[in-house]
Chains A and B, each alone.
Chain A
Amino acid sequence: MKKIEAIIKPFKLEAVKAALTAIGVTGMTVSEVKGYGRQKGHKEMYRGAEYTVDFNPKVKIELVLAADQVDRVVDTIRGAANTEKIGDGKIFILSVEDVVRVRTGERGKTAI
């Protein structure tokens, strides 16, 4: 089992969710996050004075799935979230030891 953590631009969330639903992904967890990578922060003007926004707002999508589905899901996220501009985000793939469904106590793949 693998966990995918995708950091994307906030306005791409709807497109990514729709694309993932279309290929049969049944659930995900989403959170609003802030951060920067190569894009760095940016400068804004307020009443004639500059200020730096160091952390850009992003959305983090987390989903856990069977290892054989990873490539397809990653491609789908990339395809939907890509604007070909700096700051599009990153996708992290992590190994998951186990999954437990709270209601039934099921474990492993059946609990996903």
Chain B
Amino acid sequence: MALLAVPVMVGPTFAADSQVEETVVQLAYAVDTFYLLMTGALVMWMAAGFSMLESGLVRSKNTVEILTKNVALYAIACIMYMLVGYNIMYGGGPNGFIPGLDFLLGADHTVDEVLKSGGKVYYSSMADFFFQVVFVATAMSIISGAVAERMKLWSFLAFAVVMTAVIYPVQGYWKWGKGFLDAFGFLDFAGSGVVHLCGASAALAGVLLLGPRKGKYVLGKNNAIPGANLPLAALGTLILWLGWFGFNGGSELKISNISEANAVAMVFVNTNTSAAGGLVAALILSRFWFGKADLTMALNGALAGLVAITAEPLTPSPLLATTIGIMAGLLVVAAIVFIDKAKIDDPVGAISVHGVCGIWGLLAVTLSNPKSSLVAQLAGITTIFAWCFGTSFVVWLLIKGIMGIRVGEEEELEGVDVAECGLAAYPEFTKE
């Protein structure tokens, strides 16, 4: 009976097989596109994290202005990257150094194109754009905290236009757009370098040209300027922590089979545990170094762990990921104190968190990924820093010459909320 049954089954099974196969491809496409969109939405939410963190760590007289910068830079990044940035980054180029130039977004994949690609095309190109655009906004968000409380609103937004249209996309092309850094073997999974070091380098250039806040370094003394609202800073950090699951988890770009799903789960676990390691290390170090448990340092520690694991959240074991986070947590506290002592005024510690720990993360790739090389990582670090710092410095300098970058002394003392936005964050409370 069994022998008889076999030939009867053959005809319809072949037809059903190809139909099932097509349905599987369609479903996998839908799942991977959905995954990219949802993780992109998580990364978008990091804009809320940066807004809350930064408004918590500045004084209340500068709250409205830092919030305005954060929401406006997000919107500018979305528009500029759609207009030209995305094409510079992913449009291909003649030689790996010079990116192509094109504008706007092309049409999405057709059903035929996907089915005939043999698995090469597995998610929507619009979803890809959406996932990429929220990363640009993250890089730009890093800068607003470092230049807080003293930079002119419109000069900052002018810089945001250039940063998100050109500076970020060009170095993004060198790595993620299959440019020369990628060819050289430089590894950066989700952007410790392309996003975080890039943003921090641009921030450093801005801070150096801008100078410290009034009253920060007086008569050789280094004065602390406490943030206005630590509940907001803590909330902002936890929002960023949540968003990071999209940032790193989404960067796997695929989830629709067992090994990809496992990889995504691994990335989630490592991202989480590295943040935890960073927080605990920074908390303990600040307790022993300063005598008190400094919440803001603990928050920076968590972010330091997140930035550091971003370059390679897949290959480390969870224990190694925790260790990478712990190192980042220790490093960030030391870097914040050192940068402050060097009289570089960074109110939220953005340069230490995203720059110093971004570099650490890129180097830490060599601890677990057998395909990595120290030379390629160093080349990537040097290139990204040189490009982002150099071009940003020139752009900041141009903006300084044309419209100025710093508010007047009286405006700064009175607070940029009233001077730039004509609003107080808490009009029903008297100010000091």
Residues of A within 8 A of B290 (CB): 45, 48
Stretch at the interface among B81-89, B162-170, B218-226: B218-226
Whole-angstrom distance from the CB of B347 to the nearest CB of chain A?
9
Asked if residues A45 and B296 are in contact (CB atoms below 8 Å), the reply is no
How far is B224's CA from A69's CA once the two chains are assembled, in angstroms?
Answer: 48
Asked if residues A47 and B223 are in contact (CB atoms below 8 Å), the reply is no
Asked if residues B226 and A51 are in contact (CB atoms below 8 Å), the reply is yes
Category for how many chain B residues contact A: 10 to 19
Whole-angstrom distance from the CB of A19 to the nearest CB of chain B?
31
Residues of A within 8 A of B289 (CB): 48
Name A48's contact: one of B223, B225, B226, B336 (CB within 8 Å): B336
- In the complex, which residues 221-278 of chain B have their Cβ closer than 8 Å to any Cβ of chain A? 222-226
Asked if residues A49 and B223 are in contact (CB atoms below 8 Å), the reply is yes
How far is B217's CA from A51's CA once the two chains are assembled, in angstroms?
Answer: 12
Report A's interface with B, CB cutoff 8 A. Answer: 44-51
Asked if residues A45 and B294 are in contact (CB atoms below 8 Å), the reply is yes
What are some 23 contacts across the A-B interface (CB < 8 A)?
Answer: A44-B224, A44-B226, A45-B291, A45-B292, A46-B224, A46-B296, A47-B294, A47-B297, A47-B336, A47-B337, A47-B340, A48-B286, A48-B290, A48-B294, A48-B333, A48-B336, A48-B337, A49-B222, A49-B223, A49-B337, A50-B223, A51-B224, A51-B225
B380 at the interface (CB under 8 A from A): no
Whole-angstrom distance from the CB of B216 to the nearest CB of chain A?
9
Residues of A within 8 A of B294 (CB): 45-48
1/0 per residue, CB under 8 A from A, across B193-237: the answer is 000000000000000000000000000001111100000000000
- In the complex, which residues 342-387 of chain B have their Cβ closer than 8 Å to any Cβ of chain A? 349
How far is B224's CA from A45's CA once the two chains are assembled, in angstroms?
Answer: 8
How far is B289's CA from A50's CA once the two chains are assembled, in angstroms?
Answer: 12
Residues of B within 8 A of A48 (CB): 286, 289-290, 294, 297, 333, 336-337, 340
Residues of B within 8 A of A47 (CB): 224, 294, 296-297, 336-337, 340, 349
Asked if residues A46 and B226 are in contact (CB atoms below 8 Å), the reply is yes
Whole-angstrom distance from the CB of B30 to the nearest CB of chain A?
47
Whole-angstrom distance from the CB of B352 to the nearest CB of chain A?
10
Residues of B within 8 A of A50 (CB): 222-224
Report B's interface with A, CB cutoff 8 A. Answer: 222-226, 286, 289-292, 294, 296-297, 333, 336-337, 340, 349
Query: Closest 6 interchain pairs by CB?
Result: A46-B224, A49-B224, A51-B224, A48-B337, A45-B290, A46-B226
CB nearest neighbor in B for A34: B432
Whole-angstrom distance from the CB of B185 to the nearest CB of chain A?
38
How far is B294's CA from A70's CA once the two chains are assembled, in angstroms?
Answer: 46
Whole-angstrom distance from the CB of A35 to the nearest CB of chain B?
14
Whole-angstrom distance from the CB of B343 to the nearest CB of chain A?
11
CB nearest neighbor in B for A52: B223
**Most chain B C-beta atoms within 10 Å of own C-beta, residue among A46, A47, A48, A49:** A47
How far is B289's CA from A18's CA once the two chains are assembled, in angstroms?
Answer: 42
CB nearest neighbor in B for A51: B224
Additional A-B contact list (9), CB under 8 Å, known A47-B349, A50-B224: A44-B226, A45-B224, A45-B294, A47-B294, A48-B286, A48-B294, A49-B340, A50-B223, A51-B225
**Most chain A C-beta atoms within 10 Å of own C-beta, residue among B224, B225, B289:** B224
Whole-angstrom distance from the CB of B291 to the nearest CB of chain A?
7
Whole-angstrom distance from the CB of B106 to the nearest CB of chain A?
47
How far is B349's CA from A47's CA once the two chains are assembled, in angstroms?
Answer: 9
Residues of A within 8 A of B336 (CB): 47-48
Whole-angstrom distance from the CB of A72 to the nearest CB of chain B?
37
How far is B225's CA from A8's CA once the two chains are assembled, in angstroms?
Answer: 28
CB nearest neighbor in B for A45: B290
Residues of A within 8 A of B222 (CB): 49-50
How far is B226's CA from A51's CA once the two chains are assembled, in angstroms?
Answer: 9
**Most chain A C-beta atoms within 10 Å of own C-beta, residue among B286, B290, B291, B340:** B290
Residues of A within 8 A of B286 (CB): 48
CB nearest neighbor in B for A53: B226
How far is B294's CA from A69's CA once the two chains are assembled, in angstroms?
Answer: 48
Whole-angstrom distance from the CB of A48 to the nearest CB of chain B?
4
Whole-angstrom distance from the CB of B263 to the nearest CB of chain A?
37
How far is B346's CA from A49's CA once the two chains are assembled, in angstroms?
Answer: 13
Residues of B within 8 A of A44 (CB): 224, 226
How far is B290's CA from A56's CA once the two chains are assembled, in angstroms?
Answer: 21
Whole-angstrom distance from the CB of B225 to the nearest CB of chain A?
8
CB nearest neighbor in A for B217: A49
Residues of B within 8 A of A46 (CB): 224-226, 294, 296
How far is B292's CA from A11's CA once the two chains are assembled, in angstroms?
Answer: 22
Residues of A within 8 A of B292 (CB): 45
Whole-angstrom distance from the CB of A105 to the nearest CB of chain B?
33
